[in-house]
Chain A
Amino acid sequence: MSRKPKRIETQALIIGAGVTGAGIARDLTLRGVSCVLAEKRDVNAGASGGNHGLLHSGARYVASDMEAATECREEGALLKRLAPHCVDDAGGLFVAVEGDDERYVADFPAMCARCGIEAAALEPARARELEPALSGRLIAAYKVPDASVDPFMLSLDNIADAGERGMVFLANARAAAFTVKDGRIVSTLLFDDETGEETEVVADQVINASGAWAGIVARLAGLDVDLVYSKGTLLVTQDRIADMVINRLRKATDADILVPGGTVSILGTTSVTVEDPEDCRPTIPEVDHIIEEGAAMVPVLETTRYIRAYAGVRPLFGKLASASSQDEDGGRGIGRGFALLDHARDGVVNFATITGGKLTTYRLMAEKAADLVCEKLGVAAPCLTRETPLPSHAGGKWTEPGLAPRTWLARRDPKDALLCECEMVSKGVVDELLASMPRHKSGPALLSLGLRSRIGKGPCQGGFCSLRVCAHLYDRQALYGDAGIEEIRAFLGGRWRGVSPILWGFPLMQAEFQEALHCGLMGLELHNHKSRKGGA
């Protein structure tokens, strides 16, 4: 119990390794500021990993939030130029179907023009030539510069780039306590919920970039951050239904965007206000609602096969709310802008919170947060992320669908067997990932590998590959004792959150087969490690 915590000194401690925290880490190291990035679970464990992967042109916000629309336009263009490897510049369509608000349709081009967003009108027939899956009941279509972005690659590459300039990344390191003296955070205690290991970070500046958990982290310093938690659920199809991003041309509401994600399409999202940021399970009513709404725009969504659902909790900053509209529509009335709070105003001089915002504007958020930190540190170096391309890094690249298969085919190494057959991830790729991953003393290796690759993301949803990868981890001596049982249980349990709402038809057959394998043959349900350490 009285183990002495490891102690690290740094200029800046960033709490939260979502895309914002990752972006801040890179921005600061480019300005020569040393930093530690602490994450309670793993990269993109919150909203950064639970979204559409949509790089907004801004067109979605032209009616509700001109500022956010303009920021999206600028940042989207920047990201396409500076991190092209993370972006699928597919283009986007806004389409209206019979019954949609014709006033909104008519006003749309002018609203886009007002924000500097290109929106080219297309005949509905032309739109259906571009995207044959579109409904025959189309009444209007516009082409906009939407794109899709791989949020995992983006965060991993930002972290890797910062790491090359000395940033220290700590996964499984939850901010558990601040020691505040004379209005300063003098040290931060990080706690590994798996192992109980403690780390003390002494930092000149602390940035709370923990997204939906920002309120919880701020409370450790006795401060309030007024957040509304808005859960968004999304569905992944088995096949890529459309090449382009397809948006419903109407006031933003549920299930009106279909985004390509490599070999699949992602349909969403809902917006449901929840009490707790941990409450981010997709539910059956949400899934059924998404399918019904999406099918109005793209009819095949009614009958297509889904692989899984997932959800993220958006942190919406309450002070940005137009007070009346929060509850009726799950927080859609709240702006999608971000909030940077300098807690010097609240009496803690070296502490700031950045929250809200969007994936598309993560770089801008990071820039503003880093500006504040540098100002407080007295560092004059300017932000470089507006010009400096984001390098592709070995640790981040395997999240891209298609890369692992291409690499495997090109290598033609007969010993490099495929462990994940759905997404064609081979032993060689797993070995590379193992080498690039942060060292966990315990830690769930399978989950970490899944986050950094396509393992478990194909139609089998980990049913087979979790077993093959686990066997390989033993062979590589990355697992010992009976740890593999809990590894497989945790991995499959995680996939189950996404699979359980879509269990009818083929996925139900598959789930039954996997139950027969995992429980019938292997008895994994009987190996219930109830008394896991960590408590609570």
Chain B
Amino acid sequence: MERKDVSCDVLVIGAGLAGMAASLFALEKGLVTAQAGLPGETLFASSVLDLMAVTPIEEGRLWEDPFAAIAAEIAQNPAHPYAKVARKDIEAAFGAFTGFLAQAGMPYAGRDGRNVEILTPVGTSKRTYRVPESMWKAVLAMEEKAPCLIVDFEGLKGFSARQIAETQKADWPGLRFVRLDFPGMTGDLYVEKMAFALEGESVRQALAEAVRPHIGDAAYVAFPAVLGHYRPGKVFAEMERLLGVGIFEIPTMPPGVTGLRLKAAFEEGLAGKGLKSLFQKLVLGCRVEEDGSFLFSMGRNAEEFTVRAKAAILASGRFFGKGLKAERELVREAVFGLPVEQPKGRAAWHQKDMFDQAGHPINRAGIVTDARLRPLGADGLPAFPNLYAAGSILAGQDWIRMKCGAGTALATAYAAVNDIAAG
């Protein structure tokens, strides 16, 4: 079999949000960039971009100003990865990232320096920083508590418009709901198929006709997130035009279309920028060459080719992303065997109560780095001069409870790439 050995300035390991952001930023710096990993995790993304909303999590304190929340968190917890990235770099990272997604057909909206709230599929509200444009009017509708119609579909499991309206009704009595048949589909509905179908004009028209009689006084109409897969911007604009009122999407249970859209946008957009994509390939082994560059052995199971890289960014995620592996008593880092800061022994990993306000200690475990985001070895010094870590694998944060996942991913990827480009 023909081997395609690769040579690059930077190998990004991991294909979640942090990995995608690292590749984007590296390409924009003119670095020759390769990226490996399984883009599975992205498929589960809701596609909203959190920056920071809750700290201290023990108190469940919600913040409007994410940068004030970051400052408060760092003051209390200097180990948080945000302590290593300046505010201007965080803002620049968001700007570059959403700018790229807009070009790839997935524009974002938000307010500089302010968090916003959207509806979730169980009817709770979620505080976040940037949302796809298709969800922006959820923010407005919720602020105005405007009369609003939520549409759901017979056969779409786990999404009940009645549930959302009921859950919100004490605060938002103007929410109404209607259940419709999705044009041309019966039985169990799958969001991917629905989204694809809505890329066709006739299905959009049929849907608009079915919705129209129920609009009444509604200022907005909400749909589960199925408005288009590859061309969501167009589907969204067309539906809005056909209905004559503002519309917005509510995320569905994962895996949803929102994750598919992100994946498609990344893969197309990054390829267009010259990414050497090695998706579906894993790092099997690594050695350091005489000049200090890495020589990675790559493949699915056995070595298929090598990658020579002057630097690498470890953005392999946590347990679900397979960057961290939990044995019965010990957590290990999967690629380099880096030391993992962790609570000692399994009994200390989780709280007795699943929803314990303090969060689970294991979710703060991870890789410790120097100020330049280079992972530390057992001796407390950078394990390699040219290895960086970005995203959720970093220790000192609980991205799920703090609502800082996307922000941590973008900020640390941005800072790591800057350091590589400067060196």
Chain A contact residues, CB within 8 Å of chain B:
281, 284-285, 288, 414-415, 417-419, 464, 467-468, 470-472, 474-475, 477, 479-482, 484-485, 488-489, 492-493, 496, 500, 503-505, 508-513, 515-517, 519-528
Contact = CB atoms under 8 A, between A and B. Distances in A.
Contacts of A417: 155, 157, 187-188
Contacts of A418: 157, 188
A526 B54 contact: yes
Contacts of A470: 122, 163
A475 B320 contact: no
B118 to A, nearest CB: 10
B157 to A, nearest CB: 5
* Secondary structure class of chain A's binding surface, majority of residues: helix
Contacts of A515: 360, 363, 400
B170 interface: yes
30 contacts: A281-B352, A288-B328, A417-B188, A419-B157, A464-B253, A467-B122, A467-B253, A471-B121, A472-B160, A474-B166, A475-B162, A484-B166, A485-B122, A488-B122, A496-B353, A503-B350, A504-B326, A504-B329, A504-B346, A510-B320, A511-B350, A515-B360, A517-B44, A519-B401, A520-B403, A521-B126, A522-B120, A522-B122, A526-B62, A527-B124
B60 interface: yes
B126 A528 contact: no
A521 B155 contact: no
Contacts of A492: 354-355
Contacts of A488: 122
B167 A493 contact: no
Contacts of B354: 492-493, 496, 500
B122 A489 contact: no
For chain B, which range describes its interface: under 10, 10 to 19, 20 to 34, or 35 or more residues? 35 or more
Contacts of A522: 120-122, 124, 126
Given A493-B353, A500-B350, A520-B405, A512 B319 contact: yes
Contacts of A464: 158, 253
B170 A513 contact: no
A523 B163 contact: no
B159 to A, nearest CB: 6
B318 interface: yes
Given A472-B157, A523-B120, A526-B60, 20 more contacts: A284-B347, A417-B187, A417-B188, A464-B158, A471-B122, A471-B159, A474-B160, A482-B167, A493-B355, A503-B346, A503-B349, A508-B326, A512-B318, A513-B320, A517-B254, A519-B400, A520-B50, A520-B405, A526-B62, A528-B355
Contact of A520 (B154, B160, B326, B400): B400
Nearest to A493: B354
A374 to B, nearest CB: 45
A521 B120 contact: yes
* Central interface residue in A284, A285, A474, by most chain B CB within 10 Å: A474
Interface in B40-59: 44, 46, 50, 54
B186 interface: yes
Interface string B295-330: 000000000000000000000001110100011110
B357 to A, nearest CB: 7
The winner among A284, A510, A525 for most chain B CB atoms within 10 A is A525
B277 interface: no
What are the 7 tightest A-B residue pairs by CB atom distance, in nearest-first order?
A414-B187, A471-B160, A496-B354, A474-B163, A520-B400, A468-B158, A509-B319
Contacts of A288: 328
A290 to B, nearest CB: 13
A528 B363 contact: no
A485 B355 CA distance: 12
B123 interface: yes
B169 interface: yes
A470 B160 CA distance: 9
Contacts of B352: 281, 500
A40 B356 CA distance: 26
